[in-house]
Structure 1
């Protein structure tokens, strides 16, 4: 093992080289796709390099040489997995002899194009170029037969695609002669053979002339409204033929894509990609406004609309509070009904929202998928992770529109806005006292119930914040000053400390106008002034 010396240079955790290297936890763009090197190490070699907790962030890096080796390893792994999946598929469907005979040529694509002759399509739909690409064809008995037209195939995937064409019918229409075709390729060939004038293809609806049949076909589509492709099974409509083809897997029950982590099957490749991100934690779609990441593009679009657009068309019938989506409204309404339909299987605790339950389950599993690249602290909740990162960067992207005060978290901004509106939406049902936030209401209710939480370490009973008390035992100081790196166990302590840097003194004595940074100091000052005034009057 090499002897390490802690310097300001980055340390490659894979080869112990020193220099200015990349972080293992930050996504980088490679071949137009984001990749995180800690994830690649886990996927390729099942190696998890833990982030440092009490050491500089430079010690969680990887050098360029190791990055290249890791990328090559990842590509090699994907190559092996792809080849092995193909081998197993061919082996299961065709038998051992299929793979051993050199004269047998695998040509699924040929079969998919050959089946266009079913459903009575005329032979002149295809040109002479439709001869097989391979001269040697297997004489092996074809095993998979269509139960509609009895056409046979060597592979199940070819049969599944063929059956979809029975369900779809002829959906590609020639706008010149009204002929219909099963495939887009068949329509192009038809135009090339029947509607050309030598090497030119004139449009019958305007004066345009084209050099290729496919250009005329695309041009004719511009004269008509876009075709709507309708599923004949369930009636669902699609703008593109490819969308309808993919949708038909729902009815044929074909699941040709398998998750490499949990082996769950999917009919569409994009659904598989979205699912695998639940295992890797990848969130490639990042909001440019608040920095939140999402695994799917529709999730990001919905986030921007619901959070940043300011449009809130859905109103609560009880308190008239408005929401940007029906989902948020339904979750909010459970606050009035006290409905909590989602419960934890471990501790039976109930929740109003499914997403809250999913985050809660990390309490039992101990999962903390989000790690700070600066101090190595890990988080189970993404929002807490982003809020913590802003403690290091000093970023405060949320600004009050009234007094322009800025905040590191949107929740802090919402609480601050209530100082301008005097809004106190949380009411105690025992004494009618109102509060700005639900946490304050929960602490207040303990005053009525007399309930106290017991510390499992020192058996001390805590009436309010047990989490804050536990930091006495753990020594945890999650709140760091971004000016002097001093750390604190409570956010209030950090707030008071920051005044030593800013010089802010918000508390003023009404007797002598002297200002103080803390309310306790002001109280002691008042006592001193009053005693002095009393002595002078004696």
Structure 2
């Protein structure tokens, strides 16, 4: 017998999982050919002995499960012996049923009918079965067994001791009754012949047969869930429930040889999700309210041999309305339904030994142990930092280290940009083959799991890149403090405290319009938005959707502090910092001052949008102020993969990509050139192809640009944006509003910081500031005289043109 305690396991790959011997061995899960037959040793172990070899990544073999040639030979012999026993048992029953086996038995008994003395019997008993000498009396004869009755098709009884051959003197009379006995045994033999020998099959095989009966004869469909619906048979992503049913049924009848059923190993650890929205028998069409009732129906009425003795790990869900089968509560998302069932109606109560947290499934407990309780912590592969959980380590890698494309090894700042890069530069061709070892897989998930472990030639590149990243990385002394992110709950509480306890107004700004923070209603100016928020949304709740969107990096709410005051004591405040200090000290608000990125204060004054960081910078439009903030006062670490431009938030990147890198927006139908906006497309078609694509809606005339078309509408059709004061027409509404404010309202809101002179907008202020700077940027190329403004240069050049010949000019 092998002593496993004496075996020293070395940290080298190549350890047989069946005998712990070292060498270069075969993989248990791979398929090999021997004597023109395909073998998978893991399946052979499972079907012969019902043993499943676990896969442990931290072991000496890594993710591999190996077996040596000696164990393979012994496994083959065991499988062949099991097959031989099955065949002999079947042949035995068939011979008994046909009445052929009795003749053989009688003939053999007749050949072995010699006398055996009492002394020989005692010696046989002593040698094989008796540990102590039997106490027989001198005058007590040894009892012999009674002759057995005639052989029938029922299972044979096991004898107490093998060493006692018995005499059958009545063999000849028994031979005369054989004709009548054959007639009685035949119907019994039919019953035995159709019976399944479940005791000889593994539990996995019996479980597969049950699933085959259930899925082929009912309307119940199996499915998978990985954040979205997956087909049980081919793992295809399916978005809609109706499409899932239709696609699953298109696979036809399943078989125990299907890969989707063969992978169901391990009993109750392999959970199968089924949809019981529509439960009906496909043989007779009868509907049923539950899974248990249709199983009884198949077993009783249709005589289908559903094995109730094997444990079936089935999770029932009603997908048609996302309703809980226990309490009836409905959900909008299937993931919420699964969480509700696991937490509210658990079947098990599995306890973590280290933190006493409870789980419903072994899978969840194993995942918890893997993510939170590894001995020695979770070490970063690039830097010497160690973390308490796997999730924190992943966030550290995303935030601290650049990720690389697995194909071209391009450095990218985040996992989301890496995925976009992969989709654009290396699109999926639908192949399920590993690029390193050319191994084929049945599902995308299996290929992804294999790709994480399969190194091949890429291992050397990864080591080189890790060394390069470690050398280039700048380690901060205070990194541990900076890497700790604030809790989402505290961020939301900070936002709600400021909004409810002060006159600060939250808002959004999108596509040059102010939006209500709560209901996303659009407003042309800040005053209308402020009035709507005060009237319609006086109180902010933590459970509202707008607050639940605030999480970690995207938790940045714009607030208007133009009229900032405390709502409790009505004291006016200068800025947001003084308000927060006031709320904490005087009103004991639970505000965490260590979180500094959750609020962005602005003073929304019409046509006077001041920068909160630059004292002298004032802008007319809020959109211009935001562009200034993004360029001057933010750490833009989000990079566009198309043009390399940087942004502060993911939302800004999405808008940029939508505007400048979207495919198929405005395309020239002649040469295929693409343009961002229609006006540029019209200009391109006019210049490059001589086509006037901008047509007048009121007459057949067409123009090269939209501006010329609008001028035509004003001149010929009196159609445009009309001033309410003087009736003048303009091509754009913004031009008309500027005309009203400049000409009729005489607005001058932009003030010079040197001479206090006021102007209408920043353009006129910049022209004026030239006088104070003294710089003359425009000079005449003929006489060299310099001027403050371009208009003065044009007037000067007109004088030269009068005194010069056309050829000299």
Greater Rg by CA? 2
Using structure 2 for the length normalisation, give the TM-score.
Answer: 0.25
TM-score, normalised by the number of residues in structure 1: 0.34
**Relative contact order, higher structure (CA 8 A, sep 6+):** 1
